[in-house]
Structure 1
Amino acid sequence: MNDLIYETIVTTVSAAGRPHIAPMGVRHRGDDIVLMPFRPSTTYDNIVGTGAAVVNLTNDVRVFAGCLTGRHRWPTVAAERIRGVRLAGALSHLELRLRDEGGDPNRPTLRMARVYQRRHGDFPGFNRAQAAVIEAAVLVSRLHMLAPDKIAREMAYLQIAIDKTAGPAEHEAWQWLRERIDAHNAASLETTP
């Protein structure tokens, strides 16, 4: 059986209070949430340093694409029960406290206890273009691991959903991801002997 992973935006703060926003797949384990950030990473350092994180559920795929293309500034507001922030535009958020850490030293398993959950808006339903942007964002996060022809094939297929169902936000996010892939491919050509 596959591990069920939900694509979310995780917000954390540093010990000095500086916000950090990152896309991350999360797993539900009973009442707890499991996060598996890579190490080293700002998300990992912030969670271990403060013992807290917020899982944000949003359908604004620009946040996912933006974080992977150097656009890290998204409006946030203070969390309600933990030291942290949440996305101002989140449909809902879960405030979490670190329960324990284990697993692989390069990708530790952080078991997080739910502290508080609140809904801020209604989920309007699924949009195929939003799903395509999320899949493209996953590809961009793995540019260093995947062959360029695989990325090109996947992006060509995902383009169908963009062409048929994208609104302005999805088109913008898609363009950011395309630009990132093009920049990666150009840099790869420059370093190839």
Structure 2
Amino acid sequence: MPKRTDRIGGVSTSIKTPEDMLSFFSFKGIEYGHYVDDSKGLEHLIHSTEAFMDLADMLNMNYFDMSLNVRLSVCFGSRGRGNALGHYEADTKAINFTKHKGCLGILAHEYFHAIDNYLFDFSHSYKNGQMGYVTDIKNIGLSLSLEVVEAIQDLRSSILSGNGYESVNIEPSKQVRSASRYTCVLLINMLRET
């Protein structure tokens, strides 16, 4: 793992404060840990903003859709777990980047977990009160079309077979777009990490 990441290319950002990032992406919240000093906080803010922008550009999503309908929060060094670089919390809908290693290119992986959880909630019209992930297949709600469910089953099979480079494509239907602009297509195409 590199000691730091250096970004080459991409859209430049003028975001310099948590408030800027919050309004730019429409996140539900942004949180810093007690031990994150100002310089480390700014480093996290800038790197994660650039990463979210790059991911949105690659996925052809609007920046404000990255919040998954204002359900996603971003945390920096406030919810760390051991040696992890970061993690996603389904109960709070938050991605946490650890204080020292959270800037090392983990956003796409953790964002995949957020989308997986978001689609589970969407499949139940946000009403079943359970936590889950749509790729677990069990307990998928009725609000996803058969086309989307079959694509998710194909994705799960590809993940479990270990072939992380297989591509499963579906056309973004009206329903898929309503699930926060192509989040299902994003889910299917983010088959890079398990």
Query: TM class, shorter-chain normalised?
Result: under 0.3
User: Larger relative CO (CA 8 A, sep 6+): 1 or 2?
Assistant: 1
**TM-score (normalizing by structure 1):** 0.28
Greater percentage in strand: 1
Greater percentage in helix: 2
**TM-score (normalizing by structure 2):** 0.28
